[in-house]
Amino acid sequence: MEEKRSVKLALLGLGTVGGGVYKLLERQKEELLDKAGASLELVKILVHNIKKERAGVDASLLTDKWEEIIEDPQIEIVIEVMGGIEPARTMILEALNAGKNVVTANKDLVAEYGRELLDAAQKNQVDFLFEAAVAGGIPIIRPLKQCLASNEIDEVIGIVNGTTNYILTKMFEEGMDFEEALAKATELGYAEADPTADIEGLDAGRKVAIMASIAFHSRVTFSDVYTEGITKISAKDIGYAKEFDSVIKLLGVAHNTEWGIEVAVHPMIIAQDHPLASVRDSFNAIFLHGDAVDDVMFYGRGAGELPTASAIMGDVIDVARDIRYQCTGRISCTCYRDTLVKEFKDVKNKFFLRMQVDNKPGVLAAIASVFGVHKVSISKVIQKVITDGVAELVIVTEAVKEYHMEDAIEHLKDMDTTREISSVIREY
């Protein structure tokens, strides 16, 4: 082992997360020598606008020229926190091909181009680490790739979007409706100006793709993930969930089955005594099951300046150790299988279905027979009379393939006695 007492870093991007990394590097300056066995020296920060005032940041580090980083052979670690696909993808590939190690928090990129980037890292025998890309500060990538490596993991379920979990918590605990809770989340900075990626499950979908790839040792990309958001969840649905001693959560769900990988993001009704049910506010958690370890859960902050920077710096410290021990690239792509991802229509789920029907004799029997025709078994029915003429019907099914349920719903919609299909929510 050759002792290497100083490792030079470059930071790409100085937004919220970049600022967090900068702060931690400053805060931990003296301890890092003990922690990483090397001093970590930030020598360049790539920014768009070099003239912008940035309080507390050493302006001499700023540059808007990528060449100053990529062409500097002394820079051994590049930390990418710009986000988005381009130019991040090109820069990371160039860095890897120049023999530099890369640490990133970029879930969009890893979910879509993970294979390409990991291949480039492997070819160049350098580290490409992305602990921060899934669930912010929560350690999950390293536990999966190392601690749990001897397991056959068959299930990964996660609350991996803090914005939607905050909204659903407010709806559940304070009786807010969706719009009100979203407004509150926006006010507190949990939701972005355009909240689509969060509330439609896209952000969660990317994270689930990454986790499924690592847990099941087979590449899953974002386009493989069925996504459905929380915009249709109503106070009424939440009321029923409470009646069932359950909560509603937006879950990323991945299973490795005999017939292929199942992967989706959608709201689910989940029993109150499941460990995920008590994950409140903007917290995230990932629950998984392995054949040896049984159930495990990881809980914490899935986003934010310092929690995300914590994950990035954990990776950076690890790269520094690898540089010192000349073993960069020791853990690269772990997708050594090539498992089929099932079409979502073939995935089995239990359903909670709420509908408004004419309140007259025979309606329930007719509806039950529709379910029967489409091979849907019913496990629970609740009927409430709303007004004289209309009854609200809640039906919970046994596990059934998505396409059978879809057919049953189309059929129900066509019935004269059906006034409205008010909600269809999966049940864990």
Q: Could you give the residue numbers annotated as active site?
A: 207
Residue ranges of the annotated binding site for NADPH are 107
Give least dist CB 386 to a second copy, A. 34
Give least dist CB 153 to a second copy, A. 11
C-alpha to C-alpha distances, 175 to 167, 169, 212, nearest whole angstrom:
11, 9, 34
DSSP 342: P
How far is C-alpha 407 from the geometric centre of its chain's CA atoms? 30
Could you tell me which stretch among 204-212, 299-307, 340-348, 412-420 binds a second copy (CB under 8 A)?
299-307
The answer to whether residue 20 forms part of the interface with a second copy (CB under 8 A) is: yes
Residue ranges of the annotated binding site for NADP(+) are 12-19
The answer to whether residue 338 forms part of the interface with a second copy (CB under 8 A) is: no
DSSP 398: -
Q: Which two tokens stand for residue 198?
A: 């969060």
The answer to whether residue 251 forms part of the interface with a second copy (CB under 8 A) is: no
The packing angle between helices 88-97 and 107-123, to 10°, is 20
Contact by Cβ (8 Å): 261, 122: no
Q: Which of 43, 148, 271, 421 binds a second copy (CB under 8 A)?
A: 148
The answer to whether residue 301 forms part of the interface with a second copy (CB under 8 A) is: yes
Give least dist CB 137 to a second copy, A. 4
The answer to whether residue 302 forms part of the interface with a second copy (CB under 8 A) is: no
The answer to whether residue 149 forms part of the interface with a second copy (CB under 8 A) is: yes
Interactions with a second copy, residue window 31-50 (CB under 8 A): 32, 34-36
Q: Which of 295, 343, 410, 420 binds a second copy (CB under 8 A)?
A: 295
Q: Closer CB to a second copy, residue 171 or residue 225? A: 171
Q: Which two tokens stand for residue 46?
A: 């790539």
C-alpha to C-alpha distances, 73 to 77, 78, 100, nearest whole angstrom:
10, 12, 8
The answer to whether residue 121 forms part of the interface with a second copy (CB under 8 A) is: no
Torsion of CA 223, 330, 93, 138, to 10 degrees: 50
The answer to whether residue 249 forms part of the interface with a second copy (CB under 8 A) is: no
Contact by Cβ (8 Å): 334, 142: no
Strands 348-358, 400-401: pairing is antiparallel
Q: Which of 4, 8, 115, 280 binds a second copy (CB under 8 A)?
A: 280
The answer to whether residue 336 forms part of the interface with a second copy (CB under 8 A) is: yes
Q: How far apart are CA 57 and CA 69, in angstroms?
A: 18
Q: Closer CB to a second copy, residue 326 or residue 377? A: 326
110 closest CA partner among 91, 124, 129, 123: 129
Residue found under tokens 């029997």? 365
- Helix, strand, or coil (residue 88): helix
Tell me the residue type at 387. T
Total residues contacting a second copy (rule CB under 8 A)?
Answer: 64
Q: Which of 168, 212, 309, 347 binds a second copy (CB under 8 A)?
A: 309
Could you tell me which stretch among 134-142, 221-229, 353-361, 407-415 binds a second copy (CB under 8 A)?
134-142
The answer to whether residue 188 forms part of the interface with a second copy (CB under 8 A) is: no
The answer to whether residue 76 forms part of the interface with a second copy (CB under 8 A) is: no
17 closest CA partner among 76, 75, 83: 83
Contacts (Cβ under 8 Å, ≥6 apart) of 51: none
Positions in the binding site for a second copy (CB under 8 A):
1, 20, 24, 27-28, 32, 34-36, 125, 131, 137-139, 142-143, 146-151, 217, 273, 275, 278-280, 283, 285, 290-301, 304, 306-307, 309-311, 313-314, 316-318, 321-322, 324-327, 329-331, 334, 336
